[in-house]
Amino acid sequence: MSIQNIMSQLGDGMLKTIILFFSTLVIALPLGLIVAFGRMSKVSLFSKKFKPIRLLTQIYISIMRGTPLMLQIMVVYFGPYYLFGVKISSSYQIYAAIIAFSINYAAYFAEIYRGGIESMPTGQYEAAQILGFTKAQTFFRIIFPQVIKRILPSVTNEVITLVKDTSLAFVIAYAEMFTIAKRIAAKETSMIPFVAAGIFYYVFNLIVALVMNRLEKKMSYYK
C-alpha cells in the first residue's frame, strides 16, 4: 500500500481526533472554572465546618485525578447499559468519549484555575470594592484576566497532554487516529501508519504549543 493510500485512510481518524480534542476543550475549560468556584465555595449548611458544595467538588476532583482516564471512558460508555439497561449504539461512541474526556480534564483545569485565583493578592479585591465594583465585576474585569495570564503555561501542558490522550478513545472502538493506524499496520504488516500517526501528533502538538506561546506573549504586560 502506498503512502498516499495510507494517508487517505488515516484522514478520517485525523478528523475524529481533532473533533474530540476541540469538543473537550470547549466543554472542559468553562466546566473547570465552575468546578473551581465550587472547590472554593464558602456556602455552609448546619455548621461552618460543613460545606457541601466544596466537599462534593473535592470528591469529584479526587476521583477524576485518582482513576485512569481509560477506566472513566469505559464507565461512561458501558455504564448506561450495565446500570440502567440502556442499549448502546455505535453513534454513542463519540459522545461517550467527549463526556469522559471533558469531565476528566475539567478536574485538572479546576485545580489550575483555583491555584491562579488564590494566588491573587487580597488587596486587589479590597481596592475594587472601594472603587464600587461588584463581586462579579471585580472577578471578570480585574482578577480573571490576570489569572489567565498566570495559568497559561499550566493550561498549555494539559492541552498538549490532551492531544496525546485522545488515542485512549480506542478502548471503546472510537476510530480516532491511533486506532486506524493500528488497523492499517496490522493489515499491511508495516510501521508506516505508526510513523504517520506519530508525525500527526507531533505536528498537532507543535501547532498547539506555538498558538499558546503566542497567546502568552500577547498577554504579557512587559514588551
pLDDT digits (tens, 9 = 90+) for 94-103: 999 999 999 9
The conformational region for residue 181 under phi > 0 = left, psi -120 to 50 = alpha, else beta, is alpha
Residue 80 burial (C-beta neighbours within 10 Å; 0-12, 13-18, 19+): middle
The CA-CA-CA angle for residues 134, 136, 141, to 5°, reads 95
pLDDT in tens, 17-40: 999 999 999 999 999 999 999 998
Decide which of 72 and 140 is more confident: 72
40 in Cβ contact with 54 (< 8 Å): yes
Amino acid at 128: A
Nearest Cα neighbor of 164 from 194, 127, 204 is 204
Q: How confident is the model at residue 135 (pLDDT cuts 50, 70, 90)?
A: confident
pLDDT in tens, 144-177: 888 998 899 999 999 999 999 998 988 887 877 7
- Residue 157 is predicted with a pLDDT of 93
With 0.85 as the threshold, say if the pTM is over it: yes
C-alpha 138: how far from chain center? 27
Residue 128 pLDDT exceeds 90: no
97 in Cβ contact with 20 (< 8 Å): yes
- Residue 63 is predicted with a pLDDT of 96
Q: What does the pLDDT average to over 100-122?
A: 93
State the CATH class of domain 3-218. mainly alpha
* Domain spans of the chain, in order of start: 3-218
Quick check: helix, strand or coil at residue 164?
helix
Decide which of 39 and 188 is more confident: 39
pLDDT in tens, 41-79: 876 655 566 688 889 999 999 999 999 999 999 999 999
Euclidean distance between CA atoms 212 and 207, whole angstroms: 9
For residue 49, the 8-state DSSP code is: T
